[in-house]
Structure 1
Amino acid sequence: MSPSLYQQQGYLHLPGFYKPHQLAPLAAVLLKHHRAWLRQHQAAYQRGLINSHSLSADPALTEQDKMVLFQTIAAPTLLAQITPIFPRAPRFLNTQLFFDPYHRDQHNYWHRDVQYTGLDEAAQRSVMLQQNVLHCRIALRPERGLELIAGSHQRWDSPQEYAVRMGKPPYRPHDDLPGSTRIAMQSGDVLLFSANMLHRGLYGHQRLAFDIIYCDDHPDLLAFRSAAVLPTPAQLAMLPASLF
């Protein structure tokens, strides 16, 4: 793994990181969560929601199921790829599961995760250069993957990028942007990418992508973390406590 390459481009694609048999226990837990989520949130799904979050707090999962999630989050082989990216040891923030929209013609959208934090634009510009938030995406199925603007985690939008991201007429958030990179993923691939960069999901092929979010050990970032997503004391005894 090359931390310098990640710092330069804002992402690293690790093809075939997991073998099918390694993903099987995780896939079973994710499908169990997803079926329960769909039953409970069908109306929101039909209105356009394309991800769920806080899987480790899902009451539909058993403690054993959640331990499968935590063991994935804290796997030494995965942390060996992630830890060099951070100036100090990373912390676990949350999980998400991404899937295709209910309506097949639903548009995707360019965004930076920082735009959903409630910070004003000046603060967004500042924190994105000072705080690291990393998505670790594990593809459970072959999918179209992600489209991103390499290097945009280290700079603010160009005028066109800003107009598209914010949907300022005549632009729309799903309009194509110049200089983008599309990264298709196969089952077992891992994609590490900065939450601060311009990116959008690519729908289709019945995607099922599990995202683990890691962040700097910083109180402003950990304030977004709910205690409900953390391991129980018994689970934590079998995990690296510093991560959680």
Structure 2
Amino acid sequence: MMSSSARDRMDAFRAHGFFVVRAFLDDAERAALRRACDVALVDARARSVETGHSTPRISLLTDGATCFQDDPRALERIAGFVGSGRVCELLSGLSRPGEEDTPRLKDAHYYHEQTRRDWDGDWHRDSQFGQPDPEVERAVVATTTAVHFRVALEDDDRLEIVPGSHARWDTPDELRIRRGADRATPDMQDAARLALRAGDACVFHAWSIHRATYRRAPLRRTIDALYAFARPAVRQWPSPAA
């Protein structure tokens, strides 16, 4: 039987494309996870004049072999967290009919304050990446599911999202902004800012219209994992020989 809190989360996700779980991590859990993620950030900043300095995030899994070579236990902690039953429980039931209910981890990133400049991010749906044709992208939005799970390891109010946009296609103004020349405008209609306190978790649909603002201060430390729900594979059996 589904608990009321699980039902509330699912209802919020269906209606708005996101939900927040307050105090998902206690102080000790949060500090331990931040120490593990900071191993990668310190390494990235030491090895590159760009990554970790002019960029707002680093990959924790794609570059894990390099970033954690001196501390593999830190990578084990991160991988164990983003693959844990506790996290997957929050994602249960978020897939579309016809998709598998088991989420597949795509990558995990660590968002941090860059050291060189401030800027406002572009409004986007993750579905647009690699999809130059809006009509192809529209089909992706209408038929598939991908979600971000993130936890603020320090207070983080950088994410902005258009509630409900995961469940529909763009208005003319939204499409003009998202695929036009003014992608960083502050004038996205109906956008809401999600303020997370340290330890809070947020799950949001990757196809939602969203963006972040990037600042050198205050310090930012947020882990974000991306999951997708695949459609069940249909096995094709060979025809018997005549």
1:128 and 2:134 matched: no
Confirm or deny: 8 A CA contact 2:44 2:51 kept in the other structure: no
Deviation at 1:217, TM superposition (A): 2.4
Name the residue aligned to 1:106.
Answer: 119
Partner Cα separation in structure 1 for residue 214 and residue 43 of structure 2: 22
Partner Cα separation in structure 2 for residue 112 and residue 86 of structure 1: 17
1:78 aligned residue (62, 67, 87): 87
Q: Output the amino acid matched with 2:172.
A: P
Structure 1, 93-102 or 185-194: larger mean CA deviation: 93-102
Name the residue aligned to 1:228.
Answer: none
Larger Rg: 2
1:41 and 2:54 matched: no
Distance 1:127 1:52, change over 3 A: same
Distance 1:99 1:219, change over 3 A: farther
Confirm or deny: 8 A CA contact 1:166 1:173 kept in the other structure: no
Please give the per-residue CA displacement for 1:47-73, whole angstroms capped at 9, x wherever unaligned: x42111243642231432221012101
Structure 2 SS opposite 1:32: helix
Paired positions, count: 217
- Runs of 5+ in structure 1 lacking a partner? 221-244
Please give the per-residue CA displacement for 1:92-150, whole angstroms capped at 9, x wherever unaligned: 11111112233443222211111113452221110112111100011010122311000
Please give the per-residue CA displacement for 1:19-56, whole angstroms capped at 9, x wherever unaligned: 0101222111110101111222323555x421112436
Confirm or deny: 8 A CA contact 2:52 2:58 kept in the other structure: no
Distance 1:191 1:117, change over 3 A: same
Superposition pairs of residues 1-244 of structure 1, within 5 angstroms: 1=6, 2-44=9-51, 48-55=54-61, 57-58=63-64, 59-61=66-68, 62-87=71-96, 88-118=101-131, 120-168=133-181, 171-204=182-215, 205-218=218-231
Partner Cα separation in structure 2 for residue 11 and residue 44 of structure 1: 29
Partner Cα separation in structure 1 for residue 34 and residue 193 of structure 2: 25
When normalised by structure 2's length, the TM-score is: 0.81
Name the residue aligned to 2:239.
Answer: none
Deviation at 1:218, TM superposition (A): 4.3
Deviation at 1:85, TM superposition (A): 1.3
Q: Output the amino acid matched with 2:193.
A: R
Compare the two structures and name the one with the higher helix fraction: 1
Partner Cα separation in structure 2 for residue 219 and residue 118 of structure 1: 23
Partner Cα separation in structure 2 for residue 163 and residue 103 of structure 1: 30
Distance 1:180 1:5, change over 3 A: same
- Runs of 5+ in structure 2 lacking a partner? 1-5, 234-242
Distance 1:100 1:109, change over 3 A: farther
Identical counterparts, % of pairs: 22
Partner Cα separation in structure 2 for residue 66 and residue 56 of structure 1: 11
Confirm or deny: 8 A CA contact 1:94 1:212 kept in the other structure: yes
Partner Cα separation in structure 1 for residue 183 and residue 89 of structure 2: 39
Partner Cα separation in structure 1 for residue 183 and residue 158 of structure 2: 21
Aligned Cα root-mean-square deviation (Å): 2.1
Distance 1:93 1:44, change over 3 A: closer
Distance 1:98 1:26, change over 3 A: same
Structure 2 SS opposite 1:137: strand
Distance 1:148 1:219, change over 3 A: same
Partner Cα separation in structure 2 for residue 198 and residue 103 of structure 1: 27
